[in-house]
Structure 1
Amino acid sequence: MMALDPEDVLTQAAAWAKAGDGVALATVIATWGSSPRPAGSHLAIAADGRFIGSVSGGCVEGSVIEQGIEAIADGEPRLLTFGVSDEQAWSVGLACGGTVKIYVERIEA
């Protein structure tokens, strides 16, 4: 997967907000161990479920999108932590464990 330039994500988020769409921005604020995206990575989420960017992958990203839609609705920011221990990682066939912390907040135009 090719990563988007962070400015592309922020530009799109601003365009959605300017158009009157509810928008949330998710940002990777910390990682430990194995993590698909580094700190500073963004995912912009529109209230209708459109998104651009990436903060992780798979079920983590799906959960972040759901939390972003909820943040748009209630205006409350969220600090999300996802992780897997080394032992759990080996049991499901992954090489190593890791943790990612993601901050999700509603943004305005």
Structure 2
Amino acid sequence: MTSRDSEDVLGTAAAWRAAGETVALATVVETWGSSPRPAGSRMAVTASGRMAGSVSGGCIEGAVADAAKQTMATGAPQLLDFGISDERAWEVGLACGGKLKVFVEKLS
């Protein structure tokens, strides 16, 4: 188990909220094929750019963080859909191919 796996993402997000930060939570809700993280994996993001946890082992975290910032600004949740064929996987950063859906919501 890595430190990312054992990290208390919900606890960290709650502490950031308690400290006055605006926080969004991203959760892997579905996976198909080879996926870097299982369903239920979480990542918390603050408006100031802090992140805890992982939804992909690093390959789509930037895109999820950008979506989280948009969700924090608008309050509207998002369902993100990432997928790529094995042939193009390395080009776009999903080294393992596969597909995953990530739900992003603002914590209140």
Name the TM-score, length of structure 1 as normaliser: 0.85
CA distance in 2, matches of 1:58, 1:15: 23
Structure 2 residues without counterparts, runs of 5 or longer: none
Match of 1:67 in 2: 67
Report the CA distance between 1:58 and its aligned residue. Answer: 3.6
- The match for 1:14 is 14
Q: How does 1:25-44 map to 2 (within 5 A)?
A: 25-44=25-44
- Contact (CA 8 Å) 2:45, 2:51: kept in 1 or not? yes
State the 1:19 CA deviation.
Answer: 1.2
Instruction: Show CA shifts across 1:65-86 (max 9, x none).
Output: 1111111111010000111123
- TM-score when scaled to structure 2? 0.86
**Residues 90 and 47 from structure 1, CA distance in 2 versus in 1: closer, same or farther, beyond 3 angstroms?**
closer
Distance of aligned partners of 1:19 and 1:59 in 2 relative to their CA distance in 1, 3 Å threshold: same
Which residue does 1:5 correspond to in 2?
6
Unaligned runs of 5+ in 1: none
CA-based RMSD of the aligned residues comes to 2.3
Determine the C-alpha separation between the residues in 2 that align with 1:9 and 1:79: 19
Matched with 1:103 is 103
Q: Percent identity?
A: 58
What is the CA distance between 1:95 and its match in structure 2?
Answer: 8.0
Structure of larger gyration radius: 1
Q: For residue 47 of structure 2, what is the amino acid of its counterpart?
A: A
Count of matched residue positions in the alignment of Structure 1 and Structure 2: 106
